[in-house]
Amino acid sequence: MNPYTIFADIVAGRAPSSKVYEDDDVLAFMDIRPFTPGHLLVIPKIPARSLSELDPAVGGKLFQVGQQLAAALRTSEVGADGVNFFLADGVTAGQEVFHVHLHVIPRTPGDGFGLRGRPTTLPRADLDYLAGSIRGALDRNGNNS
């Protein structure tokens, strides 16, 4: 499938963006339809459609830059009082642009932003069962704990 999206055009300078940070691996810019004022996106420069395609070192860098941006959102005129990180991986998770991106969303009291979710309460046995299944998958994928 074509790995190129509007974000690749932004990286290449073929499409406009309001940049706030750039280095060899990642770019951060203003979201064009912000949930709150100052909403940023941090993306890898090399297109990756999903987390499974993303170089883990670059994934780490997305978070690192996100941390720096979160601090800047608090001390800039955005005046963030809190920050949410959000990353949608896959259609079911709400991903619309298939170039991995970390949303960095500044929060102020009463800004109206929120994630909808209904927490459930599971018995410990169910939690342990799923934990075992996930540990098995990590092992099969060659990830040691």
Residue of 39, 99, 101, 103 with catalytic role: 101
Which residue carries 């970390």 as its tokens? 102
16 or 136: whose CB is closer to ligand 5GP? Answer: 16
Residue 100 DSSP code? -
- CA distances (Å), origin 77, targets 8, 119, 133: 29, 35, 46
Residue ranges binding ligand 5GP (CB under 6 A): 6, 17, 29-33, 41, 88, 94-97
Task: Give CA angle at 43 (42, 47), nearest 5°.
Answer: 175
Question: Could you confirm whether 103 is annotated as catalytic?
Answer: no
For residue 58 the two structure tokens come to 């670059």
50 or 133: whose CB is closer to ligand 5GP? Answer: 50
**Cα gap 102→41, rounded to integer Å:** 6
Smallest distance from ligand 5GP to CB 112, Å: 16
Q: Please report, as a single letter, which amino acid is at residue 13.
A: G
Smallest distance from ligand 5GP to CB 25, Å: 19
43 or 70: whose CB is closer to ligand 5GP? Answer: 43
| Catalytic (active-site) positions | 101
